[in-house]
Structure 1
Amino acid sequence: MLRQVSRSSIPVIKRITNKSTLATLSSVKVLSCTSQSRYLSTASKTTASVANVAATASNVTGAARNYSTRSTVVQLLNNIGSKREVEQYLKYFTSVSQQQFAVIKVGGAIITQQLPELASCLAFLYHVGLYPIVLHGTGPQINELLENEGVEPEYIDGIRITNPKTMEVVRKCFLEQNLRLVTALEKMGVHARPITAGVFGAEYLDQDKYQLVGRINSVNKSPIEAAIESGYLPILTSLAETPSGQLLNVNADVAAGELARVFEPLKIVYLNEKGGIINGNTGEKVSSINLDEEYEDLLKESWVKYGTKLKIKEIHDLLQHLPRSSSVAIIDVNDLQKELFTDSGAGTLIRRGYKLINRNSLEEFGNPDLLRSALLRDPEIKSGKLSVASYLKLLESVKFKSYGDEPLEVLAIVLEEDGKVPKLDKFLSSKTGWLNNVTDNIFNALKKDYQSLCWVVNENDSNLGWYFSKSDGSFAKNGEIIFWYGLKTDEVSQLIKTFDSGSVGSSLSSSSESGVFSSSTQKRGFHSSTVRFSNPNPPLIKGTNTKKAKVALIGARGYTGQNLISLIDKHPYLEISHVSSRELKGQKLQGYNKDNIVYSNLQVEDIIKLEENGDVDVWVMALPNGVCKPFVNAIESVSNSNSKIIDLSADYRFDTTGEWIYGLPELNDRATIAQAKKISNPGCYATAAQVAISPLKDYIVGTPSVFGVSGYSGAGTKPSPKNDIKFLSNNLVPYSLTDHVHEREISSQLGLDVAFMPHVAQWFQGISHTISIPIKQGSLTSREIRNIYQDRYQGEKLITVSGEAPVVKDISGKHGIVVGAFAVNSKENRVVIVATIDNLLKGAATQCLQNINLSLGYGEYEGIPIEVVIRG
């Protein structure tokens, strides 16, 4: 897989179909890919000619086809974002024979858990004339069947021992899963051909040790080529055969690598349920692996074992036989389009790369022309304000250390001066360096060598969000921002004082041409980790808008919907225009007195029509998780769409495209929320936990543990033991004690691992969190912690900071959060904080109304009763 492509080396072979690049799109039959809704945006983002392509392509017979065609093509074109990239990728993919487009390896868990998304994405590719070679595994299904039959799976070095009984299960699983995927594709109008044998020839890997496990020694391309030439997607299993016909089990990653060696595709993609390789120590996704630099040390890591080790070894061996610019992407199925059709890609990128080199003098660079070329990326030098020669002269007179890869795609220079914080003076990267994550490798090397560091960046730098992510704190003045990490409180104060006086020096240059990290979501508010300031994100209390706005609720029958209806009924400017519920269709909307509203059951076509007519200002999706994508797709398919969308489910809380903004006003930038078109409303548990943990982020040294207890309204209206009053009586019910969706949400938003253990109690509404937070020993007293919280939430009308531990009965029916207790243990290395929130109000409906108010320009608290629950 080539993330930034060196395309001149790809042979041009005439395609069998889809010969032209752009014009053909207007007549190609396509299906909408619902799993890619997070990449949707309005057609205005692309150039006029690209928009015309999308408009032409939408003129397919039938209204429904109109919608699906337009939705799909706009998805692709707007996801790419520019005419240049559209033409580049379509030309790129149509420049080679169809079997050379891509090899996509699908993990077995994907077929079990994300089959509709996988089928949608493959259908998208098929219907624009692209034919990936798809090979799938079936590991989880095999384990489940073996467990059901009382057979314990055995592994040696990550390889499954396959005896005849296991092989019987393996073959059955492969055939069943292959048929499931083929059937799902056929239902979407895709011609798919199951190829379960006849491709991989093999010999025994070690018959005595592994039994029926094979080592691939040949690949028969004919069945694959015949399928593609006939217009079918080839769907392969990783079963291999000996010359005598004995079936052998082969690891699917290994089989995918062998396919890649034979076909040399433009793209090599591994799909897994984790969306990449996860660091077993930190729980974080590894964004990139530079094999030349990291391979040997990586294999020594305790968490690199079994399938992970085998995968990394196989990819390493594969890339040794491909051009150095080649790479492999391991991604989530929802990121498949992003990986294939954008420069930035997704998941974990593995490439050979180059080793990083440190140089402490100009003589060590060896090639002066290479150094000059890297320095010419500096905007100051390009503009003539600074010459290369004068900067080189400076380096001769100071102590410095430089970091770079062999070809100097990235060059970092740190200036060292006795008694001062080391300063990152230059950080120069080519676009290739950004896209291939060399920048991350360089910065990781910096952090290993420097316990503390500062750097200055122009506030218009296109990679500003990246710098925020690398820092502990920042301070802005006169269009420049100083960042730092690893500093103590007094050091930060001195650094800011020096910067304020203009003595730190000019801002470093990161080559603003790349624009890789220029999305609006990454332009975060300025922050400081160790200096106490007033609330950096004060409430936008007064709004300027007084015009009426219409709200449509999709799925409004639940408790949250009912509470939101009640709030809108008392809002001075909001009016409900539509409520949609399949179960309540035809019934009168209760609890709303401004108008006589009747429930309807809005379909996709109805939503498109309402959006085209401008009948709705705000759409509120009050639907279960995983349901709202078609409705969002429909709204976004309208080219002149001006409405706002608030999603109350978890569907878009993990969005990484920048199109969805996480709507927690007390912690996220309110100005960004106010400008957003699509807002993901946070979860109830997650809101209270983040508010309770966030102010201490820079003092945390381990994993905070959240013991959460909710009233049974949090379990919804659908009958279950968690909302059964008799079952809950005199009872406390734990559930989803690991990997709960709110655990993921809290961790991802705070940027640290948080353990969350939810429970349901016998009261109706209200949540209580008891949170144990490990902190740096002796760093804070209880009073200091309370002061930090009071400063951080100064002016926040919906957050109360209390010296006492709040109780849930005081928050029920109220619209805010109470945070208190701040109990520090005798060792002074742990603090316990208690937070309470009403799960239906600030945990859902009230917060939704805050987001609506901000997005429409009303006062943030318009229509929200402000009540102080407990005075601090």
Structure 2
Amino acid sequence: MLALRASARLAGRRIAISGRRLPSSLPRAAVSSALVAKRQYSAPGSDTTTRSTVIQLLSNIGSKREVQQYLSHFSSVSSQQFAVIKVGGAIITEHLESLTSALALLTNVGLFPVVVHGAGPQLNKLLEDAGVEPQFEEGIRVTDGKTLAVARKLFLEENLKLVEKLEEMGVRARPVTSGVFGADYLDKEKWNLVGKINKINKDPIEAAINAGCLPILTSMAETPDGQVLNVNADVAAGELAKSLQPLKIVYLSEKGGLFNADTNEKISAINLDEEFEHLMSQWWCRYGTRLKIKEIKELLEHLPRTSSVAIIHPADLQKELFTDTGAGTLIRRGSKIDTATSLSQFEDIEQLKDVLVRDREALDARATVNRYVDGLKDKQFKAYFDESMDALAIVQPSTDSSGIANLATLTITKSGWLTNVADNVFAAIRKDHPKLVFTVKEDDENLTWFFDKAEGSFTKDGHVMFWYGTESAEEVTQLMTEFTKHGRSMHGEANLDERLYRAANAASAISGPNAPRQQARAFSTSARPTSRIIRGRTTQTRGYATTNPNPPLGKHNSSNSQPAKVALIGARGYTGQALIALLNAHPNMDLRHVSSRELAGQKLKGYEKRDITYENLSAEDVRRMEENGEVDCWVMALPNGVCKPFVEAVEEGRGPQNSVIVDLSADYRFDSKWTYGLPELVSRSDIARAKRIANPGCYATAAQIGIAPLVEFLGGQPTVFGVSGYSGAGTKPSPKNDVENLRDNLIPYSLTDHIHEREVSNQLGVEVAFIPHVASWFQGIHHTISVPLDRTFSSRDIRQIYQDRYAGEKLVRVTGEPPSVKAISGKHGVEVGGFGVHSSGKRVVVCATIDNLLKGAATQCLQNMNLALGFAEYEGIPLD
């Protein structure tokens, strides 16, 4: 087996050291006292005694080698290209001590980040005290002359506060409050004195750093004629980064990173090239998280691939920068991985040989590589590499019935490790090869990285054999036997791979003795963190952003590739017909049975995938079909109080853990054993795991969407005035669906204790009053909802709450104006708007519209089916 090795590389990757204690931050008292005692005003990096002291302090959270490697990396560029750090106003107010301690550490080892700060929370408080109501348009503060005057004075004060605190700690800091950001008006008519940065002057920054001072910038900008303009601090930091091209962009956050709202776990790392689209499709990736990831992606596209963004609490900044484990959320562009299965698929064979021979010191390395490449002509293999060939892996398939492939070659450059390519390559290999074996020297300093990638290991004669995917003890025994007998050249194959290993100056693994460490940050699309014991070691993988890339059936990221067999019980009604139309267009739903007593024997219309005849299925028929495994999902589109015998028949067929049931009636909406299927408000993970799903009512869906964002601010009982088209009254003739009776008319009904009133109250956990009506149009519902509030809000405040709550929800649209029934009819989502606030500021009227047959019934049913059956949530749903 060819030695797995890589060129010596910089410590741009991270890995946990087994057994090492890694506190979240240095003791503040120790940091402060050491810095005050040691710091002298001097040029950057000239005080070697102080630098040595700080390195020793940093070694408390990692190893001295880690610290020195990161320092070497950060010092490899000009000072202003080390990092841009954005500091929010709340950080200055609440975490000034942690912030200045962290910055002091950096300057004492000769690193000078460019600091840009904001003061948003302080500005809001000052304006409130001055009786000025903050105004925002599209999330941007409207800045008039009075607001700008307050903001400018505040920014200078906050800048001085930060500078003075740094000076107290012995850090030379220079306030840079003007002259860096040139701008023009963003849109003077819309936002007034708000700037769009179009020029960066680096001279004041360079002058400060050359003088040994930390540059502290405000986010104010100036026009060419000297007009000061307000600029968002995040925007200013991003534009500054585009100009300086730093290695790191750091956003200091009180939360300390981005979080997976489904698991409430911090996201350790995000590889944008590999994960962005999938990440954006996750239901929980919304609100500020979604916006921040999109903004960071746009920023990193303007920066070298070596640049990265870290979102971190100021108290953990040194751990994020100087240890292998990190502490916050690391975001990189990553790299796309290409593959080849023959030499002809490589554009340049000589380049391939150069990659294989790079950094090999043996005199005959080139000749050995030539023989190895020639040997590949007659071998089966699959190569994995990035565009620049910073990473190359060659995997040979199994030579026997075990199916265990051999990772024969892996070579990574310094840049490849730094830009996350190593993990990308390994992830690609794992997708293609469910079983793999590879070997590493026992004293390899990156051994923990291999333990993290493997499921088992065996050590012999100074080498460790790793494997994953083996299914039996017999396979493991066979691997150990081969390894014991043949060592690295398993299966008795002393092939060119092995000779290349010997020729490469005994470099026996992916890293040489001087190679920096591999980062253990894992992909955000991988599984949740798990611990496992391998030869007495406990390894802990990092937190991830999303679920397993190959999850079991039922997860919400389209894990199912097999069509689902569907049976529809009660298809005569409007909802049944709407669902049939959706299933007809769904690429993975196979409608097999449609039951209707009235239509039995007739041919189903509107379904083109197969010829279906209506059946009159009995409960016994359902039990038999379930027992025979004929159906994956049963949809009950029956009136209230009718479906229980059919549900019991499914239960009797194979028990509660087989086919999915989605009930469109109200029969199980209050049953704790059933999952309530409103994906925008209920955990999608719960729905994805559910076998029994109660589809919400149409009125209830729109009412909950309309009230939910304000539940925590309620000052009394919300009242819902609802009006539905007559399709909501069903197909059975009644005064409520009699067109003549409805002409020029509005019919109130069930004025108290309507079942949807109880449903909404039960789900939201608050008492809600509901007054339903039916009108003369066919489909569509309008709610006018009066909501008492426990505090004063403006209309803009309320709208922002709704926009934040439903950001990223593809089937919820928040508008400024009251939505109309005419506009929602035939559409698959909910529209919410209006947001009329009473003069007291303590009551708001919210309007919500929904198509009762679609998102109110059939579309929502399909969402739930998709989630529970393992398809993408919106598969088969037209998105406007």
Normalization by structure 2: what TM-score?
0.45
Find the structure with the greater CA-based Rg.
Answer: 2
**Whose RCO is larger (CA < 8 A, sep 6+)?**
2
Normalization by structure 1: what TM-score?
0.45
